[in-house]
Structure 1
Amino acid sequence: MNKIIISIEFCTLCHWTPRAVWMTQELLYTFQNDVAEIKLIPSNGGIFKISVDNETVWDRKQEGFPEPKAVKQKIRDVIDPKRSLGHSDINK
């Protein structure tokens, strides 16, 4: 399997750098063997968008701020839909 590139574009004017870094940590923990690179892309205009290989999996302007669990499920669905995410697959 080819390793993926995850991009997190975030608004620095909105002070969302800590949120982007936290999401990076969560995604690296879950997908450590699948990731070639995680790009943090400082931006503005209220953007918080997460992409896998240039395919948007989460856009704050459409879906609100993501919880790591939801982003992990969307990334898993792109790279390996049959993979179990353990406790991240349990809906409460």
Structure 2
Amino acid sequence: MAMKIAGAVESSRSAGTRRAYASGWRRYSEWCTRHGHDALPAHPVTVAAYLVDAADTVTAAGEKAYAASTLSAWVAAINHYHRTAGHPQPSAN
């Protein structure tokens, strides 16, 4: 029954949202692998470190590479994958 409910919730998201979540999760999990962290379940400090690293990234012109809205979208993706796997959302701390 739980799988059926999870499937219904998942299919209620638009294709664009599903792609954005998948992309955000892939970026985060690759960062975790490079830095020796577990992506799932993630410790809130790991997510914070990931966001600080991304926020500190600058372009060749010296400008911030990522907008705050992009960072928020990545947090939503991380939370989504945690909820889907039955773990607490790391951003809740």
Q: Compute the TM-score of the two structures, normalised by the length of structure 2.
A: 0.32
Larger Rg, first or second structure (1 or 2): 2
Q: Compute the TM-score of the two structures, normalised by the length of structure 1.
A: 0.32
More strand by share: 1
More helix by share: 2
